[in-house]
């Protein structure tokens, strides 16, 4: 055998040995290499199972608009929070907040809407989750069969709400001209209901209730037929008295400078008859024809003098007791003489007195009696004059 053939066989033997060794080591090596991959696959398979187990398909409807979504939320609150849906105090959530959530559940959110409701003349502010006027009426318990509505039943209610007037049908009775007229109406005012009844007001006619008031169920309204005339009357206007102080007159003395005169006022009265019954006259106009003229009186402020030369030493008190019983306001039976010394009015005025002597102070009466004595002696007092000298 040649050296080259021997070397070739040896080489083949070594190569065959190495292949045998590789075949012998492959199973263990493969297991060592595949183990990490198997762990990764197992982890991923377990995570996917957990992921699938927590994912839920939920149908969410917001204000009547449904959609299906996937969520990991555990309850209603988490679902709404995830969807950035805040819940107000007037909103409706079904199922209730806090309820647990499972795949296949349906969740409804209806927003609350304000309604400014005028129901038969009375104002209310209410909230509803209804989407239309029809639904709102049902939700609020308003029976609107045959009623007047300010909006169509099918009108939607937006988030900002709406104003809604509802007038239900009512029975109203009008009594006019001796007859009763019964009608069924949704009128907003008694005046409007009156027109629907075929009745009318003429001239000064009126109603027993304000015409613009709201007609109530079962209300009876009387039509008042009014006829009548006017009457003009004149009456005096009393004058006032103006008093002015005057230092030229003695205290307690009054002097009329100008007499007063009453004014004149013209009054117009309405004399009405309602359904044949005459009413109390009613004043409808007043006009001043002539203004009253005030009475002007001067009031004395000066102290009355008491001394008169030639008469101060006499017994004036004795004379006064004899003439008038010592009473300054005494008046004789005829009414012509008055005061302590029984002056007549003409003599009293000549002596400077004003008004009536019995209205003047006692000191002034004595002062003027002294002046009378100096002028005429005791002759004015023919009976009692002797008392002056004791």
193 sits in which H/E element? helix 190-196
Mean pLDDT of the 324-339 span: 94
> Using CA atoms, how far apart are residues 138 and 77, in angstroms rounded to an integer?
29
Instruction: Measure the CA angle with vertex 269, ends 265 and 275; round to 5°.
Output: 175
Set out the domains of the chain in order of their start, with CATH numbers: 56-110 (3.10.20), 113-167 (3.10.20.90), 170-224 (3.10.20), 229-298 (2.20.230.10), 306-389 (1.10.530.10)
Nearest residue to 244 via CA among 235, 254, 252: 254
Q: Give the CA distances from residue 263 to residues 28, 72, 235, 285, in Å, rounded to whole numbers and listed in that order.
A: 141, 99, 9, 17
Q: What is the reported pTM?
A: 0.48
| pLDDT tier for residue 303 given thresholds of 50, 70 and 90 | confident
Sequence length of the chain is: 390
Identify whether the C-beta of residue 168 lies closer than 8 Å to the C-beta of residue 184: no
> Using CA atoms, how far apart are residues 175 and 224, in angstroms rounded to an integer?
9
121-143 pLDDT per residue, tens: 899 999 999 889 998 999 888 88
Pick 362 or 253 by higher pLDDT: 362
> Using CA atoms, how far apart are residues 77 and 85, in angstroms rounded to an integer?
9
Where b means 16+ CB within 10 Å and e means fewer, 282-310 reads eeeeeeeeeebeebebbebeeebeeebee
Identify whether the C-beta of residue 304 lies closer than 8 Å to the C-beta of residue 247: no
Q: Are strands 170-176 and 219-224 parallel, antiparallel or unpaired?
A: parallel
Answer yes or no: is pLDDT of 31 > 80: no
CA 6 to chain CA mean position, Å? 131
pLDDT at 214: 95
């Amino acid at each position: 055998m040649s050296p080259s053939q021997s070397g070739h066989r040896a080489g083949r033997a070594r190569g065959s040995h190495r292949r045998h060794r590789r075949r012998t080591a492959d199973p263990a090596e493969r297991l060592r290499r595949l183990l990490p991959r198997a762990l990764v696959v197992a982890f991923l398979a377990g995570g996917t199972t957990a992921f699938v187990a927590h994912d839920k398909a939920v149908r969410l409807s917001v204000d009547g608009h449904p959609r299906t979504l996937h969520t990991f939320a555990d309850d209603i609150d988490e679902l709404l929070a995830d969807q950035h849906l805040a819940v107000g105090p007037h909103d409706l959530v079904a199922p209730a907040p806090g309820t647990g959530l499972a795949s296949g559940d349906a969740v409804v959110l209806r927003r609350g809407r304000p309604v400014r409701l005028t129901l038969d003349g009375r104002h209310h502010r209410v909230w509803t989750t209804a989407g239309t006027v029809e639904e709102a009426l049902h939700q609020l318990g308003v029976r609107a069969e045959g009623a007047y509505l300010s909006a169509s039943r099918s009108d939607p209610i937006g988030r900002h709400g709406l104003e809604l007037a509802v007038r239900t049908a009512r029975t109203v009775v009008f009594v006019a001209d001796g007859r009763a007229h019964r009608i069924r109406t949704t009128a907003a005012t008694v005046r409007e209901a009156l027109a629907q009844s075929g009745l009318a007001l003429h001239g000064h006619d009126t109603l027993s209730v304000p015409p613009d008031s709201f007609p109530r169920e079962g209300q009876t309204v009387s039509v008042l037929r009014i006829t009548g005339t006017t009457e003009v009357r004149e009456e005096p206007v009393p004058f006032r008295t103006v008093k002015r102080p005057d230092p030229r007159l003695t205290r307690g003395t009054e002097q009329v400078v100008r007499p007063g005169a009453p004014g004149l006022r013209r009054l117009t009265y309405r004399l009405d008859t309602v359904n044949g019954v005459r009413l109390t006259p009613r004043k409808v106009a007043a006009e001043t024809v002539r203004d009253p003229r005030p009475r002007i009186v001067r009031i004395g402020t000066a102290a009355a003098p008491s001394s008169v030369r030639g008469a101060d030493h006499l017994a004036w008190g004795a004379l006064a007791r004899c003439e008038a019983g010592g009473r300054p306001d005494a008046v004789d039976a005829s009414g012509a003489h008055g005061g302590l010394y029984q002056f007549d009015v003409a003599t009293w005025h000549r002596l400077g007195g004003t008004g009536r002597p019995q209205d003047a102070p006692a000191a002034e009466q004595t002062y003027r009696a002294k002046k009378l004595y100096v002028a005429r002696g005791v002759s004015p007092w023919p009976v009692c004059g002797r008392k002056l000298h004791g």
